[in-house]
Chain A
Amino acid sequence: MTTTRRNLFKFVGGGAAGALLTPAPWRLITDAALWSENWPGIPRPARGEIRARFTHCTLCPAGCAVRARCVNGQPVSLAGVKPHPIGHGALCPWGIAGHHLPYHPARVRQGPVKEAVAAVARAIAQRGAGERVAVLDLRPGRTVSWTYRRAMAAIENGLYLTPGQPAYSIDLAAAKTVVSFGAPLLDGWGTPGNVFAARDHFRLIQIEPVETRTAALADMWLPIRPGTESVLAAALAGETTIAEAARVTGVEEEAVGAVQEAAQSGSAVVLAADPGSPLMSLNAKFGALGRTVVARRESPLPDAWKKAAPVAEMAAAPDGAIRVLLIDESLPGGYVPWSTIEPKLAANAIVVVFSSTSEGYARHAQYVLPAPVYPEAAEDIGPAIDTVAEVFRIAAPLVAPVVPVVKPGEFVAQMAGLPQGDPLRERADAIHKTGRGALLSYADGKSTPAKEVTADDFWKTLNQSGCWMDETGKKAAPSGLGRSVTRLTSHDELPLAVVVAEFNRGGLASPLMSKLERESNLRMAANRVVLSPADARANGIESGGRCLLETACGRMNVVATIDAGVPSGVVEVAGGPRMADLCGASRRARVVRA
C-alpha cells in the first residue's frame, strides 16, 4: 500500500477525532486544572494527626477559653469553648485569628538584650538619691504583675505602675438596666460571651456623641454633646435640673427623665468608657454597690508574696524621678499617653520596652526587647471587669516561640534578684491548698471540687484543658469606684472634638484583619477619620481625600470619610497607641487638607 499525503492527513485527523471520543483528553484537562491548583506559589496545607488542645486567649483581659484544632500539634483554627460558664464559647475576631500572631511580618524579631541588661544594671547602680526604678505593667492583675510588685519591693525606691485597674467587677447577670456613658459594651467590653448571654435580660441605654456599634444595638441611644457627660450625670444624680442638663447636653428633657427613672428602678448599673471615671460614682446613688457593682476578687496568693510594692498610677510618680523604666507591653492592655510619662523621666533615664510590636512605646524607648506573643508563652489572665467569681486560668502555649524572645517577668525578677522559680505553679499550689472552688475541665465539661484532686492533677488540668473557679464567695461592695482622672487640657482653638468610635486594643493583630478594614471597610483603620459634611466642606476636604489630623501634641496623615451620621464639630477616629499619643491630655483636634 502506498502512503500518500492525503492518507496521512486522514489518519491524523481520524486519530484526533477518535481520541475525542475517549476519556483521555478530558482527563488531561482535569489533570492540568488540578495541577494548576498546586503549581509553585500555591501553598500546600500540611496534613497529619488532628486533635484539639485547649488554652486561654491573652489578647484582652477577658481571657476567653479557646479550643485549638491542631494538625501535628500546629494550631490551624481557634474556637470558643461552649461549656465555659463565662465565655459561653464566644471569641472576638482578634481571638479567632490569634494563632497567626507568631508569624506576623511586623513582629519585633530581635533586640539588644545584653546591652539592655548592662544599661539597666549600670543605671540602677549609678542612680542618685530619690531616683526611681519603675515597672509599668499595662495588664495588671496577672501572676507576673505580682512578680513585678515583689521585684519593686526588693529594689530600693522601686515603683510599680499601672494604667489603672478598677477595684470593682460588674455583675451583668444581676442588672436589669445598664446606663452606659460610652462604654463599648457590645464591642469588646468585658467578656463578649458573658455580655451577650446577659444581653436579653437588661435594658441598655447608651449615652455617647456618635452612633457606635453599641449605640446601634442599644434599646435607647442618647446622642450627647461631647464633653458634657458629667452634666447629664449630675442631673441623673439630682444635683442639677433636668432642664439645665438638656440645655447643656443637647439630650431631650423627656429622655433624661426616662433614664433617671430607669436608673432608679433598681438593679441598674452605670458604666463609663473609662472604668476609673468619676461617672462610676453614680452607682452609689442608684444603690448598685454590692448588687451589680461588686468588689473585685483575686484568686489566692502564696503567703511569701505578701511583701509587694503598692499599686500606683503614673500620676503618683514625682516629675523627673524615674531613672529606669521597664514597660511590659507584651500583652495589649491600657495605654498611658507618652506625654504623661515623659515628664516623669529623669534626664538620663533608661526606658526598656518588652513588646512584639513597634507601634506603641517602642517608638519612644532606647531598648526594645522582643516579647513572646499569644499563644507562645504560659501566662495567666486576671479577672475581667465582668467576672464576679474568683478565677485562675492559664494560657498554655500552643507553639514554641518562633523568634528568640525575652520574658519580661524573668527579666525583672533576675534584675531584682528574686529567687528562681515558677510563679504560676506556686500560685496554683496556693489556690489548691485553700481547697476552695472547683476545677472545670473543657475536654469533658466536668466540674470537680478542687479538694478532690491532687496538686499535680490540679496543675496538669490547668495547663491542659481547664480553669479554676470559686463562685461561692459573698458579693461585697467595692471600696472605691472612681479614681481621679487626668484632667483634660482645654484647646478651644481646635474646633473639633475627638471621639474614639472604633475599638482598638493595640498590639499585633492577625494579617487577616485586612478583611475587616481594607477589604470591606467594616472597621475603621487607624489612619482614617470621619467628618460631618459641614466640617468637611468648611475645610475643603473630600471623601477619600488625604488630610492631616492636628492636635496639641502633633499631627498625623489620615484619610477622610464624610458621613452625615456624624454631628458637626466632631471627628471620629479609631483608638490605639498612636491616637492616644496624638491626643495626649486633650480631646480636641483640627483636620486640614494635606
Chain B
Amino acid sequence: MSIDIDKCNGCGACMVACAVENNIPPAPEAANDRKGITWIRVYKVDNHRAYPERRTAFVPVLCQQCGHDTPCAHVCPQQAVDVDPATGIVGQMPERCLGCRYCMVACPYHARYFNWWDPKWPAGMEKTLNPDVAPRMRGVVEKCNFCHGRWHAAQQKAAAAGKREIDAADYVPACVEACPTGALRFGDLNDASTEVAHDAQRPESFRLLEKLGTEPKIHYRSQRDWVREIASAPRPEGKDGLRG
C-alpha cells in the first residue's frame, strides 16, 4: 500500500469504511481514544510550532504488515498471528487469541486493538453487518488484515473463472476504495509495473520507524521535510543514551 500524506485531508472516510467492512462496532459509552477500535486510524500531526507557523498533516496508520521479524507474530504464544508467505499479509486469528496482549506491546505502530467489550450494535443495525466477516468476541486482539474477506472473494472469483491469480481490480481494501482524495493506493509491491511499486521508489517515499528494520509494507510519501522527520521518530535532544 502507498499513502500520499500530502493528499490526505483527514476526512476519516477510510476509518468509517473499514469499520463498516470489518464489522467493527460503534464505541460503547466508556470508550475513548485508547480503548476504541480503529483498524486504521488517521493521526493529526504537526510541526510543533505555535501559531501562525503551525502546520498540520494527517497520517493514516494501520497494521504495517511487517515483512521482517514481524514483532507481533514473534511474541504470540498462541500462534494467533501468521504471515501469509504468498501475499505478505499479517493475519490475525481471533479464535486462537487468548487476549494476553503481548502483540500490542510488541507492535511499534500501535496498530493493534483489544476488544474491551462484547461487540454491540444498536437494535436493528446488526442487519447491516457484512456477511463475509465474523464479529470478534470480547477479550481478543484485532487489527487490519487488508480486508481478508475481499481477498477471499477475489480468490473465489478467480477460481470460478479457472484462474490461479486474482485480478488486481477485484481486490481493493475498503479504506482504499473509500478514500475520496486518492491518497491511498493498493497493489503488489513485488510487481514493478504497479503504481504502488512505483510510489515506493520515489525519493520522497518513506516508511514509519524504518530504522527498526521490520520492513513495513506501507510506503508513505510527503514533500514536506518535517513530516518525514516525524515518521522516523527522532530521539529527543539529550536523550541519546536512553534505550527504548
Residues of A within 8 A of B125 (CB): 100, 103, 511
Contact surface of A with B, Cβ cutoff 8 Å: 30, 33-34, 36-39, 41-43, 45-48, 50, 71, 74-80, 90-93, 96-97, 99-100, 102-105, 186-187, 192-193, 196, 199, 211, 213-214, 216-217, 223, 402, 510-516, 518-523, 532, 564-567
B56 & A211 in contact (Cβ 8 Å cutoff):
yes
Contact surface of B with A, Cβ cutoff 8 Å: 6-7, 9-13, 15-17, 19-21, 23-24, 26-27, 31-33, 36-38, 41-44, 46, 49-52, 54-58, 94-96, 118-137, 174, 177-178, 180-182
Q: How far is the CA of A513 from the CA of B33 in the complex (A)?
A: 13
Residues of B within 8 A of A90 (CB): 180
B11 & A93 in contact (Cβ 8 Å cutoff):
yes
Shortest B138–chain A CB gap in Å is 9
- The 5 A-B pairs of least Cβ separation, nearest first, read A519-B36, A90-B180, A565-B54, A103-B124, A511-B26
Q: How far is the CA of A255 from the CA of B93 in the complex (A)?
A: 55
Q: Decide: A42 near B27, CB < 8 A? Known: A76-B130, A93-B12.
A: no
Residues of B within 8 A of A39 (CB): 137
Q: Which residue from B15, B46, B132 sits with its C-beta under 8 Å from A516?
A: B15
B26 & A516 in contact (Cβ 8 Å cutoff):
no
Q: How far is the CA of A522 from the CA of B177 in the complex (A)?
A: 20
Residues of B within 8 A of A564 (CB): 49-51, 54
A515 & B134 in contact (Cβ 8 Å cutoff):
no
4 extra A-B contacts, CB within 8 A, seeds A515-B38, A518-B31, A521-B33:
A45-B129, A512-B24, A515-B16, A565-B56
Most buried by A among B49, B95, B121: B95
Q: How far is the CA of A216 from the CA of B16 in the complex (A)?
A: 22
B177 & A79 in contact (Cβ 8 Å cutoff):
yes
Q: How far is the CA of A449 from the CA of B11 in the complex (A)?
A: 37
Q: How far is the CA of A147 from the CA of B13 in the complex (A)?
A: 35
A36 & B38 in contact (Cβ 8 Å cutoff):
no
A514 & B27 in contact (Cβ 8 Å cutoff):
yes
Residues of B within 8 A of A566 (CB): 51
Shortest A192–chain B CB gap in Å is 5
Residues of B within 8 A of A522 (CB): 10, 12, 15, 41-44, 58
Shortest B19–chain A CB gap in Å is 5
A46 & B37 in contact (Cβ 8 Å cutoff):
no
A520 & B131 in contact (Cβ 8 Å cutoff):
no
Q: How far is the CA of A566 from the CA of B56 in the complex (A)?
A: 12
A33 & B50 in contact (Cβ 8 Å cutoff):
no
Residues of B within 8 A of A42 (CB): 118-119, 135, 137
Q: How far is the CA of A572 from the CA of B56 in the complex (A)?
A: 16
Shortest A20–chain B CB gap in Å is 18
